[in-house]
A and B are shown apart, each in its own frame.
Chain A
Amino acid sequence: MNRNFGALKVTRDVNLSLERGARRALIGPNGAGKTTLVNLITGVLPPSSGKVLLNGEDITALSQAQRARRGIARTFQINQLFRGLTVLENLSLAIGERDGHCNNLWRATGGSRVVIDEALDHLASLRLVDDALKLVRELPYGRQRLVEIAIALAQKPRVLLLDEPAAGVPSSESHLILDVVDSLDQDIAVLIIEHDMDVVFRFARRITVLVAGAIFTEGTPQEIMANEQVRAVYLGQEGHRVTGGARHG
């Protein structure tokens, strides 16, 4: 798959496949095109050339929303939430769109207890029930981050793309996010973009290293750690940052 912005080739011949239940980490220096790749997979951007397949079916021509309804969910690097709505509404909206309730102009939202209960279940798993009636914009950033993940989970995805899920979250709360990520359903294929190598090595079964828009190498965490070139281009600088205590991504 390729993506060019004018003469700038941001994604170059990337071939990435996630099997069912995959736990894949995508790492690479800043500007390597990690988020661009997520945008290509989710349909925010059309590829300049190449294809996106889901279960063998070509979904390249489908819109972002159509892909989402087929089970591709994502979180954003910077929160994209319904800030003026309550936490509960953020969730019930995602569920409503998933199940097609939002085509209904006549029945009251509150009429469907099933949706509300499911939304509250998702909130409970992230310990957000006490914040259910607060507006998202009233929450501290770390808790907003949890809502971001809760929405993606409420979509009941088959493929989940997490773009730096713990970025900007204080370490007192980041463990909650990582626990959730760890306990995700084994049927879901998960791709995580993360700078924190502790998280990457704890979570991922395979790691893809992206450098300057192209896949540099791919392998198990052990292989990646042992790879001298990766250490040189990436782990070196990042390792320094992690030991330096800077985890704000």
Chain B
Amino acid sequence: MAASDIMNAPTASESARERAAQYIVSRHRFRPTEALPWLFAIAAYFIFPDRMTFANQVAIMIMFALSLDLILGYAGIVTLGHAAFFGIGAYTVALMLARFGWTEPISGLFAAAIVTGFFGFILGWFTLRYRGLTLIMLTLATAIMLQETGNLRSDISGGYDGLPGLTFKPLFGVFNYDLYGHVYYLYTMAVLVVVFFLVRRIVYSPFGQALTGIRENVRRMHAVGSPVHRRLVTVYTISAAIAGVAGALFTQTNAYVTLTVFDFDNSAKVMVMLILGGTGRLYGAFIGAIIYLVLEDGLSKFSPTFWQFGIGLLLVLAVLFAPRGVLGLFENAAAYLSKRFKS
């Protein structure tokens, strides 16, 4: 080893050290590409002014998928009953209006978040001791039981006929809902921005780090002293509350709700969207929900009977060629390109 190597050695490792530190320090800062989905959302408002009802549904499903990403993508909790929370949120605002005459929408969202969060806390407390198949069965059963409870007391819930004709007060008492859903869309998007900011904040916090630790290796988390159950119940509660808000928006912007919100189909659909887009990446929820719903919309017009075939085919292709979702594909492409340009 030459003398110069010895002298260079500490500075080289100093720079490696600094680089590593900088990566963590700057990781949570907003990147320019993160503006894209929001620019797209604004553009959609002007380009498709007559499709705002549909765009509103997409935004609601993005929020629902985002809530699932928090527990599935980050904490590694696999659930097939997330519709339970969407449904509880949807029925919270519906019942508040139908049975107690509460028509103010924004306070309704808060109420939905609190009620669903409470349910999430209770259910999480009992079920999150389990993992894997057991947990899948428990979450699935929970959603079905809630649906059946609603069916049993159809005098309150309206049963499978639902609660139609739910008219909420204008937003802030000023903005009336128009036929094309422009106000709905802006309302949902505004809530989505807030929710996304919250989720993003959590994901990049030390708590969010602990969640990824639980996902990656729960045994090690116990060994480093992490209160794993408490962490999981906390994130489950937050996720439930967000799913509840998405459900509440669904009721408010559709002006009706039926027990189908609790359907297994709803739980499975949101998971498919998330996996399609890419889990544990925040924006996977955006891409997945858009692709799924646009395809569903297009295919069901093209072939009302066989449209699910197209979705199925897409899923098979995604599992085969994009196991980390569409965002995973993008990442691979970006890594490949940067390699090509470097050499």
A81 contact set on B, CB distance < 8 A: 216-217, 220
* Interface membership of B316, Cβ < 8 A: no
Interface-facing stretch out of A23-31, A63-71, A166-174, A188-196: A63-71
CB distance from B30 to the nearest CB of A (A): 11
* Interface membership of B175, Cβ < 8 A: no
* Interface membership of B212, Cβ < 8 A: yes
A89 contact set on B, CB distance < 8 A: 24, 209, 212
Q: Is the CB of A110 within 8 A of B225?
A: no
* Interface membership of B25, Cβ < 8 A: yes
Instruction: A96 to B24: give the CA distance in the assembly, Å.
Output: 14
Q: Is the CB of A65 within 8 A of B225?
A: yes
Take A42-B223, A124-B17 as given contacts and tell me if A80 and B28 are in contact as well, using a CB distance cutoff of 8 Å.
no
Instruction: A93 to B217: give the CA distance in the assembly, Å.
Output: 12
Max count, chain B CB within 10 A of own CB: residue among A76, A110, A132 = A110
B20: contacting residue among A42, A113, A129, CB under 8 A: A129
A64 contact set on B, CB distance < 8 A: 222-223
Instruction: A14 to B202: give the CA distance in the assembly, Å.
Output: 45
CB distance from B270 to the nearest CB of A (A): 23
Tell me what chain B mostly uses at the interface: helix, strand, loop, or mixed: helix
Chain A contributes a number of interface residues (CB within 8 A of B) equal to 49
CB distance from B238 to the nearest CB of A (A): 8
B21, closest chain A residue (CB): A116
Interface residues of B in 213-259 (CB under 8 A from A): 213, 215-217, 219-228, 231, 234
* Interface membership of A225, Cβ < 8 A: no
* Interface membership of A92, Cβ < 8 A: yes
CB distance from A41 to the nearest CB of B (A): 12
Q: Is the CB of A107 within 8 A of B220?
A: no
Q: Is the CB of A93 within 8 A of B13?
A: no
Q: Is the CB of B24 within 8 A of A105?
A: no
Q: Is the CB of B216 within 8 A of A84?
A: yes
Interface residues of B in 155-204 (CB under 8 A from A): 201-202, 204
Q: Is the CB of A85 within 8 A of B223?
A: no
Known: A109-B27, A113-B25. 8 other contacts (CB 8 A): A74-B223, A82-B217, A82-B220, A96-B206, A97-B224, A97-B225, A109-B204, A132-B20
19 contacts between A and B (CB under 8 A): A68-B222, A73-B224, A74-B223, A80-B219, A85-B212, A85-B213, A97-B221, A98-B224, A104-B205, A106-B201, A106-B205, A109-B24, A109-B27, A109-B204, A109-B205, A111-B28, A113-B25, A116-B24, A129-B20
